[in-house]
Amino acid sequence: MIVVTRLDKQLMYLNPDHIICIEETPDTVITLFNGNRYIVVDRASAIINRIIAFRAKISRRSASRSAKKYLGRIRSSQFHRDKSPLDDPSPDPNHTPFHSRDY
* pLDDT of res. 13: 97
- Contact by Cβ (8 Å): 39, 6: yes
Distance CA 48, CA 97 (A): 64
Per-residue pLDDT tens for 9-22? 999 999 999 999 99
What's the pLDDT at 44? 96
Question: For residue 21, what pLDDT is reported?
Answer: 96
Q: Which residues of the chain have pLDDT under 50?
A: 67
Please tell me whether the overall predicted TM-score, pTM, comes out greater than 0.85 for this model: no
pLDDT recorded at residue 65: 60
SS3 3: strand
